[in-house]
């Protein structure tokens, strides 16, 4: 979330789903509601700080729903809203493209 004025829909969408973790979290939540600790374990390499940061941003954006179960130890469950689900649906072709061309993408030189 950096801009206010977008030049096209794609611009806006990439702004919402951009960054290192949001796409992965969307994908993981697509499989079903998840607790904080579950997400931390299933999304490889994410730190707790990044996880909570991304979740908060996605909550603000209306993509995910955060439900607190008042109990000890605490239990918080995150799930996709219908808005988040619609974004996920729109991302499916892109995900398939990525899978098909995975080897090509991995072979891109980076310097």
Helix (H, G, I), strand (E, B) or coil at 1: coil
Does 31 engage in binding with its own copies (CB under 8 A)?
no
Identify the residue among 32, 33, 76, 94 touching DNA (CB under 7 A). Answer: 76
C-beta of 34 vs 87, nearer to DNA: 34
Contact (Cβ atoms closer than 8 angstroms) between residue 13 and residue 19: no
**Restricting to residues 25-64, which ones interact with DNA according to CB under 7 A?**
35-37, 45-50, 52, 56
Dig out the tokens for 99 from the structure: 């899978």
φ and ψ at 68, to 5 degrees? -100, 125
105 binds DNA (CB under 7 A): no
Q: Is 52 in the site for its own copies (CB under 8 A)?
A: no
Can you tell me the distance from the alpha carbon of 76 to that of 16, in angstroms, rounded to the nearest whole number? Answer: 23
Q: From the list its own copies, DNA, none, which binds 9 (C-beta under 5 to 8 Å, kind-based)?
A: its own copies
């Amino acid at each position: 979330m950096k801009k206010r004025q977008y030049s096209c829909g794609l611009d806006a969408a990439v702004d919402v789903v951009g960054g290192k973790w949001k796409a992965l979290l969307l994908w993981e939540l697509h499989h079903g509601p998840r607790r904080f600790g579950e997400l931390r374990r299933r999304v490889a390499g994410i730190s707790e700080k990044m996880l909570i940061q991304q979740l908060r941003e996605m909550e603000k954006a209306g993509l995910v729903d955060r439900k607190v179960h008042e109990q000890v130890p605490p239990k918080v469950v995150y799930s996709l809203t219908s808005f988040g689900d619609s974004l996920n649906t729109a991302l499916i072709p892109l995900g398939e493209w990525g899978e098909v061309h995975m080897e090509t993408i991995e072979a891109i030189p980076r310097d």
